[in-house]
Amino acid sequence: EMTENNHVAVAEAPQSNQEQTEPIVRYRKVSKSFGDNQVLKEVDFDLYPGERVAVIGPSGSGKTTMARLLMTLEKPTSGTIEVDGRQLWHKEVKGKLVPADEKHLHEVRGDIGMVFQHFHLFPHMNILKNVSVAPIKVLGLSKEEAEERAKTMLDKVGMSDKLEAYPANLSGGQQQRVAIARALVMRPKVMLFDEPTSALDPELVGEVLDVIKEIAAEGEMAMMLITHEMSFARDVADRIVFFDEGRIIEQGRPEQIFTAPKTDRLQEFLKRFE
């Protein structure tokens, strides 16, 4: 299947600060099939602490499946995924790997925050409650502590004047900003954004991208962003990963990917956005 024009480009050398650091997320030979449809094909992927990676590629290429595997919403057919040194689906007991139990899955999930295309806010809770409920229920914070934290996050996404509002009374862009605050309030090590603006009216896209850019600029969390917004990817990411047909075809720094794509497939893909 690999012809000269269809080769897999070698990844660029990691940044110097990454050489001493362990990846926070590590996919190794990860494959995923749905029936006969092999959606991911032995994917190796590392995400480093503080690194922002944008994942681009045609629809159906497996990007969302990559994200859903990290969130343990799907299980790999083969291969392993580690978060902060712990495997998602196995845990170590006395030096041996055994299948993960619910408690283990719950713990590793706690390291990851996710924002989907659709906001999934709780319709019957006001905004403050939407953001403070998980810190109370999952992290065991007091109501006061959780609300304090929630207010800080809602301020960060520009929603502190809507604490008492209900989701139905907010625009899609506002709801998505609340969804981002709700993920951040858990202080995850990794934030995952899966096409966070693709369900929004065009005029609301900018405000959500701006919030994500601000979070990215703080540079504390590792971020994986699946996006069709190429200029946004270029602005915000340290590294771009191009997916096609279940494989990473090419990856590198944004300027290299967008100005000097190496593979025909990436060149073809980028033409659609010219």
Footprint of ligand ADP (CB under 6 A): 34, 37, 39, 57, 59-65
Distance of CA 243 to the CA centre of its chain: 15
CB of 14 to ligand ADP, least distance (A): 25
Closer residue to ligand ADP in complex, CB, 30/178: 30
Closer residue to ligand ADP in complex, CB, 147/194: 194
Single-letter residue type at 126: N
Single-letter residue type at 23: P
Residue 252 backbone phi and psi in degrees, to 5? 170, -175
- Could you give the CA distance from residue 207 to residue 83 in angstroms, rounded to a whole number? 30
Coil, helix or strand at residue 191: strand
Closer residue to ligand ADP in complex, CB, 62/188: 62
CB of 34 to ligand ADP, least distance (A): 3
Single-letter residue type at 185: V
Residue 223 backbone phi and psi in degrees, to 5? -130, 135
Closer residue to ligand ADP in complex, CB, 1/203: 1
- Could you give the CA distance from residue 27 to residue 190 in angstroms, rounded to a whole number? 14
The residues with which 25 forms a beta bridge, in sequence order, are: 47, 83
CB of 200 to ligand ADP, least distance (A): 17
Q: How many residues does the chain have?
A: 274
Closer residue to ligand ADP in complex, CB, 43/190: 43
- Could you give the CA distance from residue 231 to residue 97 in angstroms, rounded to a whole number? 43
CB of 31 to ligand ADP, least distance (A): 12
CB of 244 to ligand ADP, least distance (A): 9
Closer residue to ligand ADP in complex, CB, 45/91: 45
State the DSSP string of 47-80. E-TT-EEEEE--TTSSHHHHHHHHTTSS--SEEE
CB of 74 to ligand ADP, least distance (A): 7
Closer residue to ligand ADP in complex, CB, 81/153: 81
Burial of 240 (0-12, 13-18, 19+ CB in 10 A): buried
CB of 65 to ligand ADP, least distance (A): 3
